[in-house]
Chain A
Amino acid sequence: SAVISQKPSRDICQRGTSLTIQCQVDSQVTMMFWYRQQPGQSLTLIATANQGSEATYESGFVIDKFPISRPNLTFSTLTVSNMSPEDSSIYLCSSRGSGGNEQFFGPGTRLTVL
């Protein structure tokens, strides 16, 4: 299994600013994922981040709005750029190792944009 931590756990931001969320995994993992979850809703995949390659974005999400870094096998960041109130959500980091098929999740970052 993998233990995932995220920073910050929550933040309140002003419209037009950017926030970078950090995700740290306690072991080396092949695949990392970033999700958005509206309160009471299911998960929406933003992008998949593999070390050494560009992140792959899902339909409706673009790199200019959600740039992602994956500098090594245990760490990733997601930036929410030029925020608007519609970006208010919970952002979840997740990983899956090369040997398994289940995913592990961080506790989430609760973002409120005013």
Chain B
Amino acid sequence: GDSVTQMEGPVTLSEEAFLTINCTYTATGYPSLFWYVQYPGEGLQLLLKATKADDKGSNKGFEATYRKETTSFHLEKGSVQVSDSAVYFCALLNTGGFKTIFGAGTRLFVKA
């Protein structure tokens, strides 16, 4: 079945450091890929998405590129801020599917 694997956390960075959170997936067909973010005490919210190969999703300085050849959707940000401290979830929704598959989540701590 479809699955999402993301790097384990927590990830601890200093402010202005470069961020990469790895995400790989297994799926038949051509899924849409997502990154969701969950700030402390809140529900998840969509951070960015990509719906086909080579698409780049971007939002709030975060980027991720849909790489079909490596089945990956790594999240990157050039300069993190303390306010980026949160849990990040990689997810996929397969074509014709109704159930989004979520990764385990990666907790990010950014120190001032």
A-to-B contact residues, CB < 8 Å: 4, 31, 40-43, 45, 48, 92, 94, 96, 101-108
Contact = CB atoms under 8 A, between A and B. Distances in A.
B61 interface: no
B64 to A, nearest CB: 14
A107 B98 CA distance: 22
Interface residues of B, number: 21
A3 to B, nearest CB: 11
Interface in B31-55: 32, 34, 36, 41-46, 49, 51
A104 B46 CA distance: 7
B87 to A, nearest CB: 8
B89 A42 contact: yes
B43 A92 contact: yes
Nearest to A44: B102
Interface stretch (B13-21, B75-83, B103-111): B103-111
Contacts of B103: 42
B100 interface: yes
B42 A108 contact: yes
B34 A102 contact: yes
Give the top 9 A-B pairs by smallest Cβ distance, nearest first.
Answer: A105-B43, A105-B44, A42-B104, A102-B46, A107-B43, A42-B105, A101-B32, A101-B93, A43-B102
A40 to B, nearest CB: 7
A102 B49 contact: yes
